[in-house]
Amino acid sequence: MPRELIAIAPRKLVLREYEERPLKPNEVRVKSILSSEKHGTGLLIYRGVTPFHEKKYDSKTGLFLPLKPGEAPPERYPRPLGNMTVGIVTEVGDKVERFRVGDRVYGYLPIRETHTVPETSIELAPSELSNEELVCIDPAVVALMAVREGHIRLGDKVAVFGLGAIGLMTIQMARLSGAILVIGVEPIEKRRKLALRYGADIVLDPRKYDVGLEIHELTNGRGVDVTLECSGSYRALHEAIRSTRYGGTIVPVSWYHGEARGLYLGEEWHFNRQVMISGARVESEPYREYPGWDRRRVYDTVIELFKRRRLTVEGMLDPIVKFEEVIEGYRLIDERPEETVKLGVVYD
């Protein structure tokens, strides 16, 4: 029987067998080839620390509200994990029009050996894109949103805090947008080295520098024009504010959680008249640039950039583990992040 990765409690995973059910007329069956996880959102869910474990988001008011007595939290266990998957169509329903057996497809699918899904929930894989590029579409679309929200223009000086998959994509897109100086900030050496390969001019280890002061010294005392914070650390967000020039722009890209320790809004933020723009979340629609930009255009743009070889993911999937070893893979990215960039999972 096929198996799937299931979180039964925070930091407790199992590989569970399941039975394939019959296809509905509009469904397809997909055999997984390669999956990936998001080290930001995915690890928050794995650790059980998202706001959805204690609150619910009310779409009418746009507020997070406490749960009523006896109300189940939106984020609960058991639940699957994983972000994107590439696979091969092995079976199609009677009314399926978009796919045939043997097609390579991709989508937001969990870490599981097979998937039975409506044909509208997956996409045909462009032949020009590798499996590795396909599962990195997600960090790329977030990076594109972040760079556009930051309005990076020709000649700007930019800093990117946090060089996981999203930050590494942001480095590349800041360069494509015309930035003449791109600085990466990251404590993990493996990721700093990748950032230099991807186009960063300078990388800084925040454990060794007063990053805000160092970036001002690197920019003739001014600070950078745009800072993109991709780490999810409140301390990093504070350093991003310190690194940004008077009147500059800060884009918090990450999904932050918990109490905002290390963020001091009464200091540089209060004095330097900066602009902070949230909104790199692809799912929050409509966008500020709607109707010119919508979700479909964001994804189409990323795919086109991959086709034109303007983006690379070489070295980004690290580690890549076998499906049988995926539980150990999660422990690795959770407990020893200095050895990792982005988790990939391959299937036999």
Domain annotation covers residue 307: no
Which residue among 258, 276, 294 closes a domain? 276
Per-residue pLDDT averaged across 134-153, rounded?
Answer: 97
Query: Domain of 167: which CATH number?
Result: 3.40.50.720
User: Is 295 a domain residue?
Assistant: no
In a domain, 300, yes or no: no
Residue after which a domain boundary falls, among 260, 276, 292 = 276
Residues 10, 126 within the same domain: yes
> For the residues 184-197, what does the mean pLDDT come to?
98
The number of beta carbons lying within 10 Å of the beta carbon of residue 293 is: 16
Question: Would 162 be classed as within a structural domain?
Answer: yes
Helix 165-176 to helix 137-149 angle (10° resolution) is 50
**pTM of the complete model:** 0.95
CB 93 within 8 A of CB 117: no
User: What is the CB neighbour count within 10 angstroms for residue 210?
Assistant: 13
> Do residues 190 and 263 both lie within one domain?
yes
The average pLDDT across 229-238 equals 96
Helix, strand, coil distribution of the chain in percent, nearest 5:
30, 25, 45
Rounded alpha-carbon distances, angstroms, from residue 108 to 50, 160, 277: 19, 26, 27
Same domain, 36 and 72: yes
What domain range is 194 assigned to? 138-276
Q: Is the pLDDT of residue 8 over 70?
A: yes
Q: Which of 276, 304, 336 is the last residue of a domain?
A: 276
Answer yes or no: is 266 within a domain: yes
Residue 94 scores a pLDDT above 90: yes
Instruction: Determine if residue 273 is left, alpha or beta; phi over 0 gives left, psi from -120 to 50 gives alpha, anything else beta.
Output: left
Grouping H, G, I as helix, E, B as strand and the rest as coil, residue 342 is strand
Percentage of residues in the chain having pLDDT higher than 90: 85
CATH number of the domain bearing residue 101: 3.90.180.10
Q: 118 and 153: one domain?
A: no
What pLDDT was estimated at residue 62? 86
Does residue 226 fall inside a structural domain?
yes
Q: Do residues 13 and 110 both lie within one domain?
A: yes
Say yes or no: 41 and 108 in one domain.
Answer: yes
HSE-CB at 107 with a 13 A cutoff on CA atoms is 21
117 located within any domain: yes
Q: Judge whether 282 lies within some domain.
A: no
Kindly state whether residues 119 and 150 are assigned to the same domain.
no
Q: Are 120 and 149 in the same domain?
A: no
Residue 110 phi, psi (nearest 5) = -75, 175
Average pLDDT over residues 250-255: 94
Lowest mean pLDDT among 38-42, 48-52, 63-67, 138-142: 48-52
CA dist 66 and 126 (Å) reads 43
Residue (of 190, 191, 192, 248) closest to 216 by Cα position: 248
* 229 lies in the same domain as 108: no
| Per-residue buried b or exposed e for 244-283, using 16+ beta carbons within 10 Å of the residue's own CB | bbeebbbbbbbebbeeeeebeeeebbeeeebebbebbeee
- Whether residues 122 and 150 share a domain: the answer is no
Q: What are phi and psi of 79, to 5 degrees?
A: -155, 150
Do 132 and 145 sit in the same domain of this protein? Answer: no
275 vs 29, 230, 246, 252, 269, CA distance in Å?
Answer: 47, 17, 9, 11, 9
DSSP label of 126:
P
Which SS3 state, helix, strand or coil, does residue 339 take? helix
Residue in this structure with the two tokens 């900030």, named with its chain if needed: 185
Share of the chain above pLDDT 70, in %: 100
> Does the pLDDT value for residue 98 go beyond 70?
yes
**Domains in the chain, number:** 2
- What confidence score (pLDDT) does residue 279 get? 65
Whether 21 and 33 map to the same domain: the answer is: yes
Residue 52 in this model has a pLDDT that exceeds 90: no
